[in-house]
A and B are shown apart, each in its own frame.
Chain A
Amino acid sequence: MRLRPVNRVIPVLVLMALALLWSLDFVSIQANRIVPGSSLGLVAAVGMRWALGLSGVLALCGLLAAYVRRPPYGVLLALLCLLLAQLPLSLAWVGEQHITAELAHARVGIGAGFWGLLFLLGLLSIELQQRVRLHRAGLLGIGLGLLLLTLGVAHLGGLEPLALMREYQSRRQQFSSALYSHLGLVAAAVGVSLLLGAGLALLINRFPAIQRSCMGLLSVIQTIPSLALFGLLIAPLSYLSAQFPLLQQFGVRGIGWAPALLALIAYSLLPIVRNIGVALQAVEPSVIDAAHGMGMSPRQVFFQVRLPLALPVIIEGVRVTTLQAIGLTAVAALIGAGGFGTFIFQGLGQAAMDLIVLGALPILLMALLADSLFSLLAAHYRGVPAP
């Protein structure tokens, strides 16, 4: 055994996880939605055996990484999956242990210790992914597996006592309509701005003189904070809708989806136009020459040479735009556009912490999923594995 650790990152993360687990509250238990809850530490929440087992596996990871000459990163990855899988199970176990029949309305709140563990396991998986050179899709697979396991446990009723689940249960309808309106707004904004942006990029390509002013205007828009742009659109749109009854019939009003969609499109144009412009110019003239030389028609050159070469850069633009739109749609809930932001701002208004989390978690998940999917897609077209 050597004293100087082979890998220092994993032991540091493990030590931090252990410190958080044993010092912070793992869960809190409330008798009902109103009364303040009582906090439980790790041992009180899941029992001594579970606590020691969990800490033991964590410590094993740290020791293997630090003191085996060529750390068995595959084994570590397997242990990490085990640690991730026990997360939803531990919550179900807490419910089993502490929520008895006479406490029908009792709810289990997730504590800082649990979130801390989740965060550090996330960091561990990023570190391990790079050590085992796991494809990015592998990481996505592990994440999806964890999500499915959690949904499975929830489906079987194991997570019923969770405060988060109780908030969800009383808002099933609103949750699915929030999901649809959030996704709908993001898809509409990205779709429309992709069409508009392609047109604008081609226009700029044809008339380079307008490039400076166009890009300047778009970046000024990008600089304006979302809350301000949403706010500035309310007055003109309500004026228009008052003047033209036809607009009113389509639901165009000062608040709601109309100003939200307009602002989202305005924000989306800059990354889209910039990336399409870069993509179209980045194809080397010699390649185009060669294609012409092979007897390709201009149409063939565009669809068979320019577009495939430009696609990864365009997809990167769509990725940035989508992530931006997911976040901005959350803010748009303030002007009545729906989406998961509604839960966040309702929760903030009622000081209902679980409701805030119910709104924020799906937004984070959507962002992570969109990021992974578009990164994989871009890597696929680029023909090299994602970083």
Chain B
Amino acid sequence: MTASHWQGWRWPLLWLGLLLAATFGLPQLEAGFRAIEPGARAVIYSQASFSGLLVKHLLLVAAAACAAVALGVGTAIMVSRPWGRDFLPLASQVASIGQTFPPVAVLALAVPALGFGVLPTLFALVLYGVLPILRNSLAGLHGIAPAVLEAARGMGMSPWQVLWQVELPLASAVIVAGSRTSVTINIATAAIGSTIGASTLGDPIISGLVNGNSAYVVQGALLIGLLALTVDSLFERVQNRLPGPAAVALG
């Protein structure tokens, strides 16, 4: 372990430490929050524990990210094979036009379709989260020099081996960049999912806004902000270790 190896972990560890400190320490800061909201009966959000909300928020985003990666990368692979190439123009256009729709509108429209609760939130997160991943996977697979693929086939690799050992590793940096965009958006959208009945870190904010209690709002906002920064810095760390032109931001 060299010093530079640890240097890369500095930001993720700092944000993670702050996030954990806030999750377990906020309830101890009652006096401080009393100053923000002197008139309120309670100044620490207590309908659910912050750690429970954090875990639910993370699980929701992680489940959506797994489904979105599977769907997005899977679709990109299918439309870049010879037998699926007919669908390539449509897929790439849908990936770029779909991203013009605001995530909150997609989330709202999931309710008339699926009702309230965790399921429509998850559906909206997956639906919207697929787009940046699909777009970047297409760009990554498309960006590989034909000579490289030719050489791989010339070495006698089967189409599967070319895909697993050449194409996906070479495209991985761009795909991870797309996943980073997707997860960043989804952490924010999952917070708004509180309004459609998913229990996330958005709960304290919504409850605070409804009841006019700024202390709740600050607690929820702090935790969500720290969560987003932690996850984003982890992604940056992963991206820096990948081969090829890392940090290609195509999002």
Contact = CB atoms under 8 A, between A and B. Distances in A.
Chain B binds chain A:
yes
Interface of A: 7-9, 112, 115, 123, 126-127, 130, 220, 223-232, 234-235, 238, 254-255, 323, 326-328, 330-331, 334-335, 341, 344-345, 347-348, 351, 353, 356-357, 359-360, 363-364, 367-368, 370-371
B109 interface: yes
A174 to B, nearest CB: 17
Contacts of B100: 323, 367-368, 370-371
A218 B94 CA distance: 29
Nearest to A330: B104
Given A223-B228, A341-B104, 4 more contacts: A231-B205, A234-B217, A235-B36, A327-B105
A185 B117 CA distance: 30
A228 B90 contact: no
Contacts of B228: 223-225, 228
Contacts of A364: 101-102, 105
Interface in B178-208: 184, 187-188, 191-192, 195-196, 202, 205-206, 208
Closest 10 CB pairs of A and B: A327-B102, A225-B188, A231-B221, A228-B221, A228-B224, A353-B112, A231-B217, A371-B100, A228-B225, A360-B105
A225 B202 CA distance: 10
Contact of B93 (A130, A224, A351, A371): A130
Given A7-B86, A226-B188, A232-B221, A356 B108 contact: yes
A224 B225 contact: yes
B196 A223 contact: no
For B36, B89, B102, the residue with the greatest tally of chain A CB atoms inside 10 Å of its CB is B102
B147 interface: no
Interface in B110-153: 111-113, 116
A159 B90 CA distance: 32
Contact of A229 (B89, B94, B112, B225): B225
A146 B203 CA distance: 40
A326 B191 contact: no
B206 A360 contact: no
Given A127-B90, A228-B220, A331-B192, A353 B111 contact: yes
A326 B229 contact: no
A9 B94 CA distance: 13
A220 B225 CA distance: 10
Nearest to A239: B36
B111 A348 contact: yes
A321 B131 CA distance: 18
A367 B101 contact: yes
Contacts of B103: 327
17 contacts: A7-B86, A223-B184, A223-B228, A224-B224, A225-B188, A225-B228, A227-B191, A231-B220, A232-B221, A232-B225, A238-B214, A323-B100, A327-B102, A328-B102, A335-B209, A353-B111, A360-B108
Nearest to A359: B108
A334 B209 contact: yes
Contacts of A326: 102
Contacts of B58: none
Given A126-B94, A227-B191, A228-B205, A323 B102 contact: yes
Contact of B202 (A220, A227, A363, A370): A227
A334 B218 contact: no
B168 interface: no
A334 B90 contact: no
A235 B232 contact: no
Nearest to A367: B100
B82 to A, nearest CB: 13
Contacts of B214: 234-235, 238, 254
A128 B247 CA distance: 35
B24 interface: no
Contacts of B86: 7-9
Contacts of A356: 108-109, 111-112
Contacts of A224: 224-225, 228-229
A225 B187 contact: yes
A344 B104 CA distance: 9
Contact of B102 (A7, A112, A230, A363): A363
Interface in B147-188: 184, 187-188
